Chains A and B, each alone.
Chain A
Amino acid sequence: MNPEQFKLFKRITLDYFGKLAPSEQPVMGEPHMHFGDPELLDYTSLIEIFGQYEGCIYLTSPAAMLKDVLLINGEIQDSPAHLKDMCQEFSNVLSGNASKAFGGNWQISVPRTLTRPEVMALDLPESTFVMPILWRDKQSLLVVGLRVAQEAA
Chain B
Amino acid sequence: MNTTVLPHSVYRRAREPRELPGALRLRALEWAFYFAITGKQTAAELARQMRAETADSTEALSRLINLGLIAEQELDAAEYVRALAAAGDREEKTLHEFLMGAAHSAPAPADAASVETLRIPRPRLLDVPDVTTPFPRTTLRPGKTPQPAFGFKPLPRPDDDRKENQRMSASRRLSLRALMNVIERQAPSTEAGQLDVYRVFVRVDTLLLKRNGIETLRFTEDRLVSDPELEEALVRSLKKTLGLDCPESVWVEVA
Do they bind each other? yes
Q: Contacts of A126 on B, CB cut-off 8 Å?
A: 206
Q: Are A30 and B220 in contact (CB under 8 A)?
A: yes
Does A64 interact with chain B (Cβ within 8 Å)?
A: no
Q: Are A31 and B201 in contact (CB under 8 A)?
A: no
- Of A33, A144, A146, A147, the residue contacting B217 (CB under 8 A) is A33
- Of B188, B203, B216, the residue contacting A33 (CB under 8 A) is B216
A-contacting residues, B178-196, CB 8 Å: 187-189, 191-192, 194-195
Tally A-B pairs: CB < 8 A: 65
Most B CB atoms within 10 A — which of A1, A129, A146?
Answer: A129
Q: Are A129 and B198 in contact (CB under 8 A)?
A: yes
A-contacting residues, B204-235, CB 8 Å: 204, 206, 209-210, 214-221
Q: Contacts of B43 on A, CB cut-off 8 Å?
A: none
Q: Are B214 and A35 in contact (CB under 8 A)?
A: yes
- Of A31, A125, A127, the residue contacting B204 (CB under 8 A) is A127
Q: Are B218 and A32 in contact (CB under 8 A)?
A: yes
Does A137 interact with chain B (Cβ within 8 Å)?
A: no
Q: Contacts of A127 on B, CB cut-off 8 Å?
A: 198, 201-202, 204, 206
Does A106 interact with chain B (Cβ within 8 Å)?
A: no
Complex CA gap A36/B219 in Å reads 17
- Of B192, B210, B215, B220, the residue contacting A3 (CB under 8 A) is B192
Complex CA gap A125/B202 in Å reads 9
Contact flag A36-B206 (CB < 8 Å), given A3-B195, A30-B220, A31-B219: yes
Complex CA gap A126/B205 in Å reads 9
Chain A contact-residue range equals 20 to 34
Q: Are A7 and B191 in contact (CB under 8 A)?
A: yes
Complex CA gap A147/B218 in Å reads 20
Does A50 interact with chain B (Cβ within 8 Å)?
A: no
Q: Are B201 and A35 in contact (CB under 8 A)?
A: yes
When C-beta atoms are compared, the residue in chain A nearest to B220 turns out to be A30
Contact with B along A52-65 (1 / 0, CB 8 A): 01000000000000
Does B197 interact with chain A (Cβ within 8 Å)?
A: yes
CB distance from A2 to the nearest CB of B (A): 8
CB distance from B166 to the nearest CB of A (A): 27
Q: Contacts of A151 on B, CB cut-off 8 Å?
A: 203
Q: Contacts of B210 on A, CB cut-off 8 Å?
A: 35-36
Contact with A along B57-70 (1 / 0, CB 8 A): 00000000000000
Q: Are A1 and B195 in contact (CB under 8 A)?
A: yes
When C-beta atoms are compared, the residue in chain B nearest to A30 turns out to be B218
Contact flag A129-B195 (CB < 8 Å), given A3-B187, A146-B202: yes
When C-beta atoms are compared, the residue in chain A nearest to B214 turns out to be A35
Q: Contacts of A120 on B, CB cut-off 8 Å?
A: none
Q: Are A32 and B195 in contact (CB under 8 A)?
A: no
Q: Are B191 and A147 in contact (CB under 8 A)?
A: no
Q: Contacts of B204 on A, CB cut-off 8 Å?
A: 127
Complex CA gap A64/B205 in Å reads 35
Complex CA gap A1/B195 in Å reads 9
Q: Are A147 and B216 in contact (CB under 8 A)?
A: no
A-B contact pairs, 26 of them (CB 8 A): A3-B187, A3-B188, A3-B191, A6-B195, A7-B189, A10-B191, A30-B218, A32-B216, A32-B217, A32-B218, A34-B215, A34-B217, A35-B210, A35-B214, A35-B215, A35-B216, A36-B215, A125-B202, A126-B206, A127-B198, A127-B202, A129-B194, A129-B195, A144-B198, A146-B199, A146-B202
Q: Which residues of B contact A (CB under 8 A)?
A: 187-189, 191-192, 194-195, 197-199, 201-204, 206, 209-210, 214-221
Give 5 closest A-B pairs by Cβ, nearest first.
Answer: A3-B192, A126-B206, A35-B206, A32-B218, A3-B191
